[in-house]
Chains A and B, each alone.
Chain A
Amino acid sequence: MAAAVNPAGELSIIGSTGFGEAAERLRAVTVQVITATRAGAGFGSGVLWSANGLVITNAHVASRGRVVVVFQNGSRYEAVVAGADGQHDLAALQIRGAVFSPAAVRDSATLRVGELVIAMGNPRGEIGAVTAGMVHRVGQGSLIETDVHLAPGNSGGPLADSEGRVLGVNSCIVNGLGIAIGSRAIQAFVARLVSAKN
C-alpha cells in the first residue's frame, strides 16, 4: 500500500477504496427509526437484519407500539415492535411488503482488538453519517467497545468491519468509548423471538 499527500495536505491511501465501499453496503441496510413520544418524534437508527423484514434497533430507541422505519432511498414502512430485551438494549421491528436484502452479518466473536470498524447512523438528523475507528476491547457478553465517535441518533445503527459486514448495533457511549451489542447477542435475541412465536 502506498500513501501520498495531495497539494491540499490531505493524506490519501493509494490503492484503497477507503471505507466508501463498506459504507455503500451499509447504506442499503441502515434505516432511520422514528417513534412518537410525548415530546414529539424520537429518532434513532436500525439495521435490516433478515429477508423477512426484521429490523434490529436498541430497546431504548423503540420498545413497544408502532414506529416508522425509513430507508435511505426514501422508502417508508410502518413497523410494529416484535420484541424487546431491555437487558441487552435490543429491540426487533417487523416491516412487511417485500422480500428484503438484509445486512451481511459477521460473528462478533471473531472480532479482534485493533481491527478497523465503521459506524453508520443518523446522528443529529444527519442521514447515513459514517464514523470510523478501532476496536478498543472485545468484552464479555458480546459487548464491543470502540473508539468510534458516536452521537445521539447513532443508537441502533450498525457497527461494521472494513468490508461492511455488520458486527453489531451501537448502543451507548461510556467514558468516550462507543459500546455496541455484538451480533452474537443479536442472533440469540432473534432466536428467542422466533422460538417464542412458534
Chain B
Amino acid sequence: MATTLTELSKALADAVEAAGRNVVAVHEGGRAGVSATLWRDDIAVTAAHTIAGLKSVTLTLPDGTSGTAEVAGVLPTADLAVLKLAKKYSSHAQAAAAGALRVGDFVLAVGRRGANGVVATHGIISAIGEGEKPLRLDVQPFTGFSGGPLVGADGRVIGVNTSGPRRNLATIPAAAVESAVVTLLAKGRFPVPYIGIGLQPVRLSSSAQSDAVRRALLVVMVEPSGPAHKAGLLVGDIISHVDGAELTQARDLERALKPERIGQSIRVGVIRAGKQQEIAVTIGDRESR
C-alpha cells in the first residue's frame, strides 16, 4: 500500500488542523470574508487591504463561536492590520522564527471561511526577499486566504498571507509580524517616521562636459515647525545625498526613514546656491506632532 504517501497525507492534514486552531474568519474582509491569524491571546493579524477603513470587525473563532475585534493599528509599510479581540482566546500561533526557509519549500496556506470551517491549499515558496520583505509564493490565489497563516509541512508558522503582485499570494514573514505586534503593544500605535518636506524628483547633469544624469530631489515644501524646518532646510534646496551616499533613486530618502530611527538624525546632503552642504535633520514621528 502507498504507506509513505498516506503518511504524508496525514501529516499535511495534521499540519492544517494545528494551524487552523489559530485561524479566525473575518466576515467583513474582501468580497466574501477573509482570515486572520491569532498572534497573542487577544491579538490577531490580518491583511490590511481587506478591511480598509473599518474600525471594528466580526469574527468566527476556531471553536466556532462568534467574536468581535477592533482594528488596533495598521502598519503603513506592510499590508498588515493588528486586531484586538474583545475577548481573550487561549490558542495562538507559535510566533517562532521561520529559520532557514528555502526557495522551493513546500507550504500550506490555511484560512477560515465564515462559519464553514478551515480551508487549505498548497504550493511552494518561489522567492525569498531580503529581511522583512514579503515571500513570493507559487500557490493558487483562491479567495479568503488573505490574513491566514502560511505554514510549513510541519505546521510551523512561516508568516501571514496577503495579496502580492497580480493577485498572487505573498507572505509577510513571521518576524516582521512579530516586530509589528511588539511595536503596537508597546506604543499603542505604529509610529510614522517623517521629516516634513514635499519633494519633486529632478535630474542633475553632473557637469557641463558630461551627459551623465543623476537623480535628486527638489524641496518644494517645508512643513512649518517640522523636523526639516527646524534643521534649516529651505524650499529650493536640492537633495543629492542621504547619510553621505549619493541618491540613486527617489525612494532612497524614504527608505532611510525607518521607524527605529525616530529621534535620531539623518544627514541630508543638499545643493544650495550651487554649493554642496550637509544638514542634520532629526527624524520625527508624524503621528505625535
Q: For residue A14, give the distance in angstroms from its CB to the closest CB of chain B.
A: 9
B16 lies within 8 A of chain A by Cβ: yes
Q: Report yes or no: A116 in contact with B121, Cβ–Cβ below 8 A.
A: no
Give the complex CA separation of A20 and B2 in angstroms. 9
Interface size on A (CB < 8 Å)?
A: 32
CB-CB nearest in chain B for A116? B9
Closest beta carbon of chain A to B103's beta carbon, Å: 13
- Chain A residues closer than 8 Å to B8, beta-carbon distance: 1, 13, 16, 116, 162
Q: Which residues of chain A are near B1, meaning CB under 8 Å?
A: 21, 163
> Do B4 and A17 touch across chains, with their CB atoms under 8 A apart?
yes
Report how far A1 CA is from B4 CA in the complex, Å: 7
User: Which of A20, A116, A163 contacts B12, CB < 8 Å?
Assistant: A116
A164: which B residues are within 8 A, CB to CB? 2
Contacting pair A113 B6 (CB below 8 A):
no
B2 touches A21 (CB 8 A): yes
Stretch at the interface among B92-100, B112-120, B185-193, B225-233: B112-120
Given A114-B13, A136-B142, A175-B142: A16 in contact with B2 (beta carbons within 8 A): yes
Give the contacts of B125-174 with A (CB-CB under 8 A).
140, 142-143
Are the CB atoms of B2 and A115 closer together than 8 Å?
no
Count of A-B residue pairs with CB < 8 Å: 90
Quick check: is A112 within 8 A (CB to CB) of the other chain? yes
Complex formed: what's the CA distance from A98 to B169 in Å? 51
Given A136-B142, A162-B9, A175-B142, does the pair A113, B120 have CB atoms closer than 8 Å? yes
Which one of A33-41, A51-59, A66-74, A137-145 is at the B interface? Answer: A137-145
Q: Is the CB–CB distance between B140 and A134 below 8 Å?
A: no
Bound Cα distance A15, B2 (Å): 9
Q: Is the CB of B2 within 8 A of A176?
A: no
Residues of A with C-beta under 8 A to B24: none
Min C-beta distance of B174 to chain A, whole Å:
20
Judge whether B108 is part of the interface by a CB distance below 8 angstroms: yes
CA distance A116 to B16 in the complex (A): 12
Q: Is A135 an interface residue (CB 8 A)?
A: yes
Would you give the shortest CB distance from B19 to chain A, in whole angstroms?
9
Query: Are A18 and B5 closer than 8 Å at their CB atoms?
Result: yes
Instruction: Choose from B6, B20, B119, B121 the contact partner of A162 (Cβ within 8 Å).
Output: B6
Q: Which of A27-52 contact B (CB under 8 A)?
A: none
Q: Which residues of A contact B113 (CB under 8 A)?
A: 137
Q: Is A134 a contact of B12 with CB atoms below 8 Å? A: yes
- Residue of B9, B10, B14 with most partner-chain A CB within 10 A: B9
Q: A136-B121, A147-B122 are in contact. Are A113 and B16 (CB under 8 A)?
A: yes
Q: Would you call the interface of chain A mostly helix, strand, loop, or mixed?
A: loop
Q: Which residues of B contact A145 (CB under 8 A)?
A: 119
Within the complex, which residue of B4, B17, B142 is in contact with A114, where a contact is CB–CB below 8 Å? B17
On whether the beta carbons of A134 and B122 are closer than 8 Å, the reply is yes
Interface check A22, CB cutoff 8 A = yes
- Asked if A162 meets B5 with Cβ closer than 8 Å, knowing A113-B20, A134-B121, the reply is yes
Q: How far is the CA of A180 from the CA of B1 in the complex (A)?
A: 24
For residue B140, which residue of chain A has the nearest CB? Answer: A147
B117 and A113 within 8 A (CB): yes
Write out the residue numbers on chain B whose beta carbons fall within 8 Å of the beta carbon of A176.
140, 142
- Shortest CB distance A166–B (Å): 15
Convert A157-187 into 0s and 1s, putting 1 for each residue whose CB lies closer than 8 angstroms to a CB of B: 0000111100000000001110000000000
Residue from the list A113, A116, A136, A175 in contact with B5, Cβ < 8 A: A116
B-chain residues with CB within 8 Å of residue A19 when the two chains form the complex = 2, 5
Pick from A22, A112, A136: contact of B17, CB below 8 A: A112
Pair B13/A115 contact, Cβ less than 8 Å: yes
B15 at the A/B interface (Cβ < 8 Å)? yes
B211 within 8 A of A: no
Name the CB-closest residue of B to A137: B119
A residues with a Cβ closer than 8 A to B are: 1, 13, 15-22, 112-116, 133-140, 145, 147, 161-164, 175-177
A-B contact pairs, 5 of them (CB 8 A): A1-B7, A21-B2, A113-B13, A135-B13, A136-B142
Q: B interface vs A, CB < 8 Å? A: 1-2, 4-10, 12-17, 20, 108, 113, 116-122, 140, 142-143
Top 5 A-B pairs, shortest CB-CB distance:
A114-B16, A112-B13, A16-B4, A114-B13, A116-B9
Seed contacts A137-B118, A162-B8; 14 additional CB < 8 Å A-B pairs: A15-B4, A21-B1, A112-B17, A113-B120, A115-B10, A115-B13, A116-B9, A134-B121, A137-B119, A139-B116, A145-B119, A147-B121, A147-B142, A177-B142
